[in-house]
Amino acid sequence: MRKKIVAGNWKMNTMLPEGFNLAKEVISKSAGVPTDVELIVIPPFTHLSEAVKITKGSRIKVGAQNCAMWDKGAYTGEVSAPMLGSVSVNYVILGHSERREYFGEDNQMLFKKINLVLENSLTPIFCCGEKLDERESSNHFKVVEQQVSESLFGLTAEQMLKVVIAYEPVWAIGTGKTATAEQAQEMHAFIRQLLTKKFGVNISNEISILYGGSCKPSNAAEIFAKADVDGGLIGGASLVAEDFIGIAKAF
């Protein structure tokens, strides 16, 4: 059966000492979370080595928020997938809407990044999701289908099995406006159907699809109860250990 996952995307927040304390708190509070839920903290690059050290021996896994499109070379300011592997990170978020919006990342670039992450034995968390105007004009399925097909359909079935998907409607990110559990389920089922058509039902049934966008302890249970929702990618609420763990306990 597919993995349940709750991942905390800290974005560009926390100084190192704060991040240290947050990771410690997440570890200490994690005892009450069902053991079949994978808990992941995803701090900024500067904190990764330290986060890996702190979480060693605990159930908490560590992820990065992005990686470069190349594996090494003259790309000032970039961090590569092999570098992330060398500090023993487990996951890498790719294609977050903030990367698409502010850094011009497109589906083809993300296909390259996904390949590099997989080649380095890391797990990509591939984000997709429509903007408000795209939903209002009823183009949301088309947009998500294009993101999924252009970034994932060039993978082999074996590679696809190692990818985690996060559906994050852009209008719900950081806005306090969560998608309803029905809206989340509808899109998750649609994404799974796309995967079934391309890779077959045995593979699509194994792929975790997380929901992201203003997820909180108060709304997580209803969303996670839906058949095709396998967990959450949490932004704002992941900066408060109690809220993050409260969400994970919603399973």
235 is a site residue for ligand PGA (CB under 6 A)? yes
b/e 103-122 (16+ beta carbons within 10 angstroms → b): eebebebbbebbbbbbebeb
User: Please, what is the minimum distance in Å from the beta carbon of residue 174 to ligand PGA?
Assistant: 4
User: Please, what is the minimum distance in Å from the beta carbon of residue 198 to ligand PGA?
Assistant: 25
Taking the alpha carbons of 67, 69, 71, 73 in that order, is the dihedral positive or negative? Answer: negative
d(CA 237, CA 245): 9
3-state DSSP assignment of residue 124:
strand
124 is a site residue for ligand PGA (CB under 6 A)? no
Active site residue 168: yes
Nearer to ligand PGA among residue 205 and residue 218 (C-beta)? 218
234 is a site residue for ligand PGA (CB under 6 A)? yes
Q: Cβ(189)–Cβ(233) under 8 Å? A: no
d(CA 118, CA 139): 30
Distances (CA, A) of 236 to 54, 189, 232: 22, 26, 12
243 is a site residue for ligand PGA (CB under 6 A)? no
User: Please, what is the minimum distance in Å from the beta carbon of residue 216 to ligand PGA?
Assistant: 8
103 is a site residue for ligand PGA (CB under 6 A)? no
User: For 66, which DSSP code?
Assistant: -
d(CA 44, CA 204): 31
Binding characters for ligand PGA, 8-27, by CB under 6 A (x = yes): -x------------------
Binding characters for ligand PGA, 132-151, by CB under 6 A (x = yes): --------------------
Binding characters for ligand PGA, 177-216, by CB under 6 A (x = yes): -----------------------------------xxxx-
Question: Could you list the active site residues?
Answer: 96, 168
Residues that bind ligand PGA (CB under 6 A): 9, 168, 173-174, 212-215, 233-237
